[in-house]
Chain A
Amino acid sequence: MYWLSVVVWLFLILIPILSIFGSFSHADLVAGLGSPLVREALKVSAVSSGISMALILTLGLPTAYFLAHSNWRGKIFLDTLLDLPMVLPPAVAGTALLLAFGRSGPVGRWLSEIGLVIPFSLLAVVMAQTFVAAPFFIRSAKSGFQAVDRNLEQAAQTLGKTPCQVFWRVTFPLSLPSLVSGMIMSWARALGEFGATLVFAGNMPGRTQTLSLAVYTAMETDFPAAMVMSALLVIVSFVVLMAVKLLAGKGLG
């Protein structure tokens, strides 16, 4: 009888998803893809999530390595802190960012003195996305590094390789599947980011309005366009998730 439970899930997930695809005509699709609202949102999303990913990768990789390989008292505190954005309500994350980096915040005040105003800018979008999406990459990368047999890294060292060479020739290729799947998950999360962005970066078309924010706006002004963007996000998310599963199943190396 266990298939009955599956039917319930299908009812709950598949039907709403399919109704998105049934909610617009072919003409709507063409019009939607051509509308400036959708195009600008696409651009903002692509640029901001791209920058966020670059940030997450360059800063997350060493952090994940450090967490995987070091052992000190209080490490669990840092570990938990880095995971926190994953469970925090996005609105809370946005509020926190706004408080810290807003004009009257401790960091924001100092930054605005040197002429840098973060809130309601593309930088704010990037910060919100990085804040929320980084844990997905760091977690995955950390467990990938931890899964590499310590003996392999030690063996490479006795074979005359410096720690840096050991990383690129042994640790990195062996943890690549985890890195890639963490990266994809993280990117998908950044792309879907809504709450924190709305609070911290606002919803300004062409500047801070990402795809998910545009869906929200268009719901009232241009319903078919909202549905076209929703469909786009659904497709991307599905492909991304499936790619991660395939990667995990096969193992890249």
Chain B
Amino acid sequence: MLEVQVKKKFRSFTLDLELSAGNELICLLGPSGAGKTTLLHMVAGLMEPDEGLIRVNNKSYFQKPAGARRGRQLPPYRRRVGYVFQNYALFPHLTVNQNILFGAKGSMDETRQEASYLVNLLRLRGLEQRKVTELSSGQQQRVALARALITRPDILLLDEPFSNLDELIRRKLRLDLLRVHRDFRIPIMMVTHDLEEASTLGEMVAVMDSGRILQVGTREEVFYCPRSRRVARFVGMKNIFDGRVAEVKPEENLLKVAGDKFNVCLPYHPCRVGDRIVFGIRPENISLVRNGAELGKRGENNVLKGRLVEMIPEGPGYRLFLKTTADTYDLEILIPSRIALKHQLTVGKELSVTLRKTALHLLRED
């Protein structure tokens, strides 16, 4: 259980945010300077907020009501926080084993058992007597995790844990982290600016910018239903358009929109004819339509025609750039390579695509 509600003024921005979560893995997503690391520091007690409260597992870490002169700030060593630093911060003068045991409490027997369990869990067997400076980054990362976990923390904080690692090791470590999460059942708060990381790991995603949380919710909510244009940009929605409401039909769950580029139908949302609105759709939610194919209910499918101007391999598929107007391109589409093959795609080809009504999402202007 985690409950945060803090404010702090800095020279260049003000941190002001609220966040609560159960035992989820929360990804803090946002550009550098958004205040993600600052938030971790506050939870760990390495930085004191101006006011607010921080509670973990029903234990008060920080409490200072607005306007109060003195607050209660529990020092870091009396909190139960596991912190994995971005540079791992392993003690260079100690061996792997000494690093892991650094924060251990309790009897020798218990500690030894616990260490042995963590060494297995994090694949560190055989490295115990090494100097940490001799380890690879991936190994150092796992030592840092083991060292944090041996204290049996009530919450685990990770600051860009995978940023210095190559892709293969990154994938393995993500699995390690998920295993840790399953075994320890504590909230894990992780800073990242990697979208893919946030979408594969984050049960909850909090999008941050300039000291504020723009949106927090489940991965699906944040990635598919971003609240505002800014969030949509951060989570890679890519296809974001402006338009004006042309018709409002609540009984048909329909909103007809005269877009600045093309007309579409959106799910109903209370608004008036003539209102300016912003809407978007994720690249993977746009699909190709075979020429002449029968489509279900008319008007729900928003079929558009365009010319393929660029086609870039990405992961197991392709990212397509489609031009429907005079602009360089208007739509970004992500499709599996199987589909690309079936449609015999080449740059310059004329295509029809469908922006299904249910996948189109209304955004708030900001």
Contacts and interface: CB of A to CB of B under 8 A. Distances in A.
B151 A174 contact: no
A158 B105 CA distance: 13
Given A159-B103, A160-B105, A152 B91 contact: yes
Interface stretch (B63-71, B79-87, B252-260, B349-357): B79-87
A20 B76 CA distance: 60
23 contacts: A149-B87, A149-B89, A152-B89, A154-B44, A154-B83, A154-B85, A155-B85, A155-B89, A157-B45, A157-B46, A157-B75, A158-B77, A158-B79, A158-B81, A158-B148, A159-B77, A159-B102, A159-B103, A159-B148, A161-B77, A163-B77, A173-B93, A253-B92
Nearest to B157: A158
Interface string B134-177: 00000000000001100100000000000000000000000000
B62 to A, nearest CB: 15
B102 A156 contact: yes
Contacts of A149: 87, 89
A157 B73 CA distance: 14
A155 B77 contact: no
A151 B87 contact: yes
Contacts of B83: 154-155, 158
Interface residues of B, number: 23
B148 to A, nearest CB: 7
Contacts of A160: 77-78, 103, 105, 151
Given A155-B91, A162-B77, 12 more contacts: A149-B89, A154-B85, A156-B91, A157-B77, A158-B46, A158-B81, A158-B103, A159-B147, A160-B77, A161-B103, A173-B93, A174-B91
Contact of A157 (B76, B92, B147): B76
A161 B83 CA distance: 13
A174 B85 CA distance: 19
B276 to A, nearest CB: 48
Contacts of B77: 157-163, 165
A162 B77 CA distance: 6
A151 B75 CA distance: 16
A154 to B, nearest CB: 5
Contacts of A154: 44, 46, 76, 83, 85, 89
Question: Which 6 A-B pairs have CB atoms at the shortest separation, nearest pair first?
Answer: A159-B103, A151-B89, A157-B76, A155-B89, A158-B83, A253-B93
Nearest to B86: A151
Contacts of A174: 91-93
Interface in B104-151: 105, 147-148, 151
B56 to A, nearest CB: 13
Contacts of A158: 44-46, 76-77, 79, 81-83, 103, 148
Nearest to A154: B46
Nearest to B153: A158
Contacts of B147: 155, 159
B113 to A, nearest CB: 19
A149 B147 CA distance: 18
B61 to A, nearest CB: 12
A253 B93 CA distance: 6
Interface in A56-94: none
A55 interface: no
A174 B133 CA distance: 14
A216 B137 CA distance: 60
Contacts of B102: 156, 159, 161, 169
A253 B89 CA distance: 16
Nearest to A157: B76
A4 B147 CA distance: 56
Contacts of B78: 160
A151 B85 contact: yes
A170 interface: yes
A120 B77 CA distance: 50
A161 B102 CA distance: 9
A170 B87 CA distance: 16
Interface in A126-157: 149, 151-152, 154-157
Q: Which of B45, B81, B92, B148 has the most CB of A within 10 A?
A: B92
A163 B45 CA distance: 13
Interface in B41-63: 44-46
Contacts of A161: 77, 102-103
A173 B92 CA distance: 10
Between A152, A165, A173, the greatest number of chain B beta carbons within 10 A of the residue's beta carbon is seen for: A152
Contacts of B81: 158
A41 B341 CA distance: 95
